[in-house]
Structures are given as C-alpha cells and as structure tokens.
Chain A
Amino acid sequence: MLILTCPHCGIAADETELAPGGEAHLKRAGPEASDVEFEAYMFARRNPLGVHFERWRHAMGCGKWFIAARATDTLEVFGTYPARTEAPPADLVRRIRRKRPEWEGLP
C-alpha cells in the first residue's frame, strides 16, 4: 500500500484517497512541433525501474494536485510537492541524488 503526504493539507493519504495523474513534468510539444514530437508528447511515457515522478490528486480530500517523487522498485517515497511548478524542488533533487547516485535525473 502506498501512502503519500499531500503537501497542501498535510494528510498522509492512503493511495485509495488519491487519483493518479500519470507521469509528471511532461513538456507540451508546442505549435511548431513535428508530428513525431507531438506523438511522443501525447503517448510516450517513461516507465523507469527506480526514481519516478508522478502526478496525484487528493481527490478524496482537499482536491489539489501534487507531485510525488518515489522509487518504483522499493516503493520508497522521496517527497511530495505542489504540482504548480515546472521542476522538482532543489533540496528534494539533492536528497534523491544522495540516495540514488545512479539516477540519471529528469530529461
């Protein structure tokens, strides 16, 4: 069972109180994008064994979106932060790098 702490209301929410929103920090392919680039934005998703960033909505709670950084191999949760941002907080990235030196970072 996955428990993620909502950064908005502070509740340690059970996975069943949350709605999953898929991979986080996707960059929309702009108006000048090629079909191949747009297809990748629409359909191609990372599925790493290790560090991953996911969007979640506290649906059965405060209703807000947040992002969770966690390990898909151990289910360790590195941290959560509000979704209204383009990149993870620097201190969280440092913490992940210390624990997972092999992590290649976000694309």
Chain B
Amino acid sequence: MHDHQPIARLAPAPPCGMVTLKGDPGRAGLRRAVKAAVGLSLPGRRAMLREGERVVAWMAPDEVMLFMPRGDVAAALAAARKAFGKGSGLVADVSDARVLFTVAGPHAREVLARLSPADMGALGPGEMRRTRLAQIPAGIWHWGEGAFTVMVFRSVAEHARALLENAAAGPEAGFFAPGT
C-alpha cells in the first residue's frame, strides 16, 4: 500500500499503425520510401518528425519506424514498396508488435528516470530514446507538450504497465523541474 497519490498519470495510448522501413542509408531508397509513405523527410540521428498523426522516427542508421492511423497502413505499405522499387529495402507492418503508453504530469520524467539508466534530463522534444525500463527494451519520446510516450513490445505490455505504475507511486524526489 502506498500513502501517496501517484506522481504521474499512466494511460494506454489508442492503437495506431506502425510500419518499419529498413534500407541502405547511403542510397536514396529509404528517403524516398519515407516520403512516399507518410510525406515526411528522413530524420537525422535519433530524431522524430511529425505532421498531424503521421510520425517518422529514426531507430538505427538503416531503420525508421512510421506511425499513422491504422486505416492508412495499407496505402503506406504499398507506397513504400513502390518507392523502394527494385532496390533493396524492407517494408513491414508491425502495428501489432508493440504498444504505447503515455506518462503525463509534472513528474513524468522522474517516473521514467526511476526505471532507466538513460539520462532522462537530456531527452529533448522530438528525440527517440531507445533504452530499457527495468529489464525490458523500450522507446521513449515526448513533444514538449506535457506527456511522454513509452513504446514496448506487446508481449511485455502488462509488465511495463506494472513497472510504470509502481514507479509512479510517489512521493517524488523532485530531481527534475516539474513539467516536460
């Protein structure tokens, strides 16, 4: 039993479409595929770009992840495959592989810092930080709008929820200035 109110609000994010693209970063195919699928540029190292509900995230030098409404996935897959053409590239619908949580409130950053060795104080808006939460891999980002998004594999979603809930069971240490 905890005597304190949780120091952050945890909520599952509604399902969205997710598409992984892989390709040689030294060739134009990957850039063209991102543009064709979501209309965005190829982001720089660890960066994320968004336009409305469409987001592209840099995952590795040869890999990006696209986020979009579920209904747009089929068209995005087709557009990306067409853009890669005969060149080498991978296009995969991974919408069911992962789940997203939002962690909101003035102490959200502290909740995440309790679970990860990442320097959460250095995580700026629009940066994809891949790290671990306790012992599971996770991607964490925010847009400077008061909430962090946490992405984990669906197979460990319940574990991640319990971890975050436990970490949010106050009281706060106040290491970070309140807010995102």
Residues of A within 8 A of B (CB): 8-12, 14, 16-17, 59-64
* Binary per-residue interface labels of chain B (128-152) against chain A in the complex, 1 for a CB within 8 Å, 0 otherwise: 0111100001000000000000000
Question: How far is B53's CA from A98's CA once the two chains are assembled, in angstroms?
Answer: 53
Q: Is the CB of A9 within 8 A of B132?
A: no
Q: Is the CB of A9 within 8 A of B61?
A: yes
Q: Is the CB of A10 within 8 A of B46?
A: yes
Q: Is the CB of B59 within 8 A of A17?
A: no
Q: What total of chain B residues lie within 8 Å of the partner, measured CB to CB? A: 14
Q: Is the CB of B60 within 8 A of A60?
A: no
CB distance from A78 to the nearest CB of B (A): 22
Q: Is the CB of A16 within 8 A of B61?
A: no
CB distance from A101 to the nearest CB of B (A): 35
CB contact under 8 A between A61 and B130, given known A8-B60, A9-B46: yes
Q: Is the CB of A64 within 8 A of B61?
A: yes
The majority secondary structure among interface residues of chain B is strand
Question: How far is B130's CA from A9's CA once the two chains are assembled, in angstroms?
Answer: 10
Q: Is the CB of B60 within 8 A of A17?
A: no
Question: How far is B131's CA from A61's CA once the two chains are assembled, in angstroms?
Answer: 5
CB contact under 8 A between A8 and B130, given known A16-B117, A60-B137: no
B45 contacts A by Cβ under 8 Å: yes
A-B residue pairs in contact (CB < 8 Å), sample of 22 = A8-B60, A9-B46, A9-B60, A9-B130, A10-B46, A11-B130, A12-B119, A14-B117, A16-B117, A16-B132, A17-B117, A17-B118, A17-B132, A59-B137, A60-B130, A61-B131, A62-B59, A62-B60, A62-B63, A63-B60, A64-B60, A64-B61
Residues of B within 8 A of A (CB): 45-46, 59-61, 63, 117-119, 129-132, 137
Q: Is the CB of B132 within 8 A of A10?
A: no
CB distance from B19 to the nearest CB of A (A): 17
Chain A residue nearest to B119 (CB atoms) is A12
In the complex, chain B residues whose CB is within 8 Å of the CB of A8: 60-61
Question: How far is B61's CA from A60's CA once the two chains are assembled, in angstroms?
Answer: 15
In the complex, chain B residues whose CB is within 8 Å of the CB of A60: 130-132, 137
CB distance from A54 to the nearest CB of B (A): 19
In the complex, chain B residues whose CB is within 8 Å of the CB of A14: 117-118
CB distance from A15 to the nearest CB of B (A): 9
17 A-B pairs besides A8-B60, A64-B60 with CB distance below 8 A are A9-B46, A9-B60, A9-B61, A10-B45, A11-B129, A16-B117, A16-B132, A17-B118, A17-B131, A59-B137, A60-B130, A60-B137, A61-B130, A62-B59, A62-B61, A62-B63, A62-B130
